[in-house]
Structure 1
Amino acid sequence: MELGNPVRSILLRYINNQKKQDNNYFIAQIVLDNFDEIPQLTIYQLSEKCFVSTAAISRFIRLLGFATYTEFKSACEAEIGITHDYDKKYTATNPAPESSFIAEFTENLHRNLTYCQEHLSESELKEVAERIHTASDVLVFGLEFASFMSQHFQSRMAMMDKRVHNGFTVDDQLAAIERIQPNSLALIFSMEGGFFYFNEKVIAALKKKDVHIIVFTFKSSPMIERSADQVILCGERNENTEGRLSVLYIMELLLFYYMRTIYLA
């Protein structure tokens, strides 16, 4: 299975979307509570922790999109920890003081927003809004945080009578692409360009369907430039997750200009 998002996020999403607390709900909770142990546990040991059969574990793993328990364990083991989100000077044995982080984070955020204000023109935002309006189908993709924010974008666009599709996992995204019509648009939010390295099948599927691709990123790359029809730079710094707030900033600008130039026109 190709995820596009961490296993923990998939498990939390599963729990949050369940209407009833059945066996699968409790398995998900126990897996989360013992996540760091999963790579060392056999399916028999996990089934004992969950007080269910090994068959129940297998069914749950397939429900999440994994073919086998071994594949699931490998994905858990490969998951990157939260410390990778931050500059090493703040996670080292003798880290820099927290006050330094606050100052740097705020300064970098301010620089990103100023960069957007200076480089992203109204005409460009209106052009994207028009493309969203005229597209037969609109897809909004990103990794983890951007993927969650795409749900916010989706709900706000629905309030303006425009249907937007998203997908949390690679399988979800491929399924969404399969259903779209000609003359469709994809908005991809990828601050470091990781979406293009981890989701190559999604990019290939978009290109095969001749989808117009607009990428919002901090640093363009040959891979992005080969795949995208338009690249919009939306900041300069992402050492300590400042870029996540730029994602929301850009989405809010797009919502505003769609409202003003399309919905209220």
Structure 2
Amino acid sequence: MNFFEIVNANVEKLNKNEQTLLDFVIKNMDSVKNKNIRELSAECFVSTTTFLRFVRKIGFSGYSEFVTVIKYTVLNQNETEETQPFVVDQTAYREEYLKNINETVRVLDNIKLNSIVSLMQQKPKLYFFAKGFSKYAAEYIEYLYTLSGFIVIFPKNYEQRQLAYRNIDATDILFVFNYDGEDHELIEILQIIERKCQYAKLISVTGANNNTIQNMSDINLYLFTDEFYQNKIEMTSHVSLIAIMELLLYQYNEITKA
């Protein structure tokens, strides 16, 4: 039983204050495992009731299970670090990193890009759907497209996504960023949208594997990257995703100004 495996499934449900609590716990797991709920609540400047509510929201039945799992996770991490040190050949990593970006750009289909540009020229609303680490790349993309004059709707948590898809019109464009293309929540949303707005265009950016979201899309663009996980949390590079969306916007600007 690993702390990160339990928590990772519930991170999307946390509000800003709860995310701050989670950040504190993750950064101080070695000391947290030895504190009782009153000590830890006081250190986080919240009531014991608030902290217990947080503990249950991230997937634990109570404080006892919360501390037990943290103790196990810290112990397991220490053993792993002693027996399997993480060694990276930086030269090889840089070469692979650049190779993934180059390959992503090289395989971009110009016909697909032009098709998307034609849709964008109608100035529809753009919906961005992304989860996990992809959200942080999507925030930059949202900023970039908003500056270019588009109305961008980017729901950033579970509740916002559940509300956002209800407002999609048949003329809107949906962009879905999901590397493995198999996220159950996003697939469910896309299925509902497909039934509700048959003419809304779905554009996905996924890995190059054959996946569900890719197969549901009107247009799929795919990227190359090396998946990387730390403490069971995905920390895969999203530079290739940003490169695709930047190039799409540059192509739009070039064609529009011509």
Structure 1 residues without counterparts, runs of 5 or longer: 15-23, 62-68, 82-89
1:254 aligns with 2:248: yes
Residue 93 of structure 1: aligned partner: 83
The sequence identity of aligned pairs, in percent, is 17
Cα gap change, 1:92 to 1:183, in 2 (>3 Å):
farther
Cα gap change, 1:222 to 1:251, in 2 (>3 Å):
closer
Q: Distance in 1 between matches of 2:240 and 2:49?
A: 44
Aligned length: 227
1:188 alignment partner, SS class: strand
Pairing of 1:96-115 with structure 2 (within 5 A)? 97-98=87-88, 100=89, 102-115=90-103
Q: Distance in 1 between matches of 2:165 and 2:191?
A: 11
8 A contact 1:141–1:187 mirrored in 2: yes
Kindly provide the CA deviation profile for residues 64-102 of structure 1, in whole angstroms up to 9, marking residues without a partner as x: xxxxx5233449979xx9xxxxxxxx978344643x1x2
Aligned mate of 2:56, from 70, 74, 93: 70
Cα gap change, 1:162 to 1:105, in 2 (>3 Å):
same
Q: Distance in 2 between matches of 1:189 and 1:52?
A: 36
Structure 2 residues without counterparts, runs of 5 or longer: 1-6, 74-79, 229-234
TM-score by length of 2: 0.69
Cα gap change, 1:257 to 1:228, in 2 (>3 Å):
same
TM-score by length of 1: 0.67
Residue 140 of structure 2: aligned partner: 152
Aligned mate of 1:227, from 178, 196, 216: 216
Opposite residue 196 of structure 2, the aligned amino acid is K
Residue 33 of structure 1: aligned partner: 24
2:209 alignment partner, SS class: coil
Question: What is the CA distance between 1:44 and its match in structure 2?
Answer: 6.5
Question: What is the CA distance between 1:174 and its match in structure 2?
Answer: 1.9
The alignment's C-alpha RMSD in Å is: 3.9
Kindly provide the CA deviation profile for residues 126-177 of structure 1, in whole angstroms up to 9, marking residues without a partner as x: 2222223336321112222321222222222122211111122222112121
Opposite residue 232 of structure 1, the aligned amino acid is L
8 A contact 2:179–2:205 mirrored in 1: yes
Pairing of 1:206-221 with structure 2 (within 5 A)? 206-210=193-197, 211-221=200-210
Question: What is the CA distance between 1:192 and its match in structure 2?
Answer: 2.2
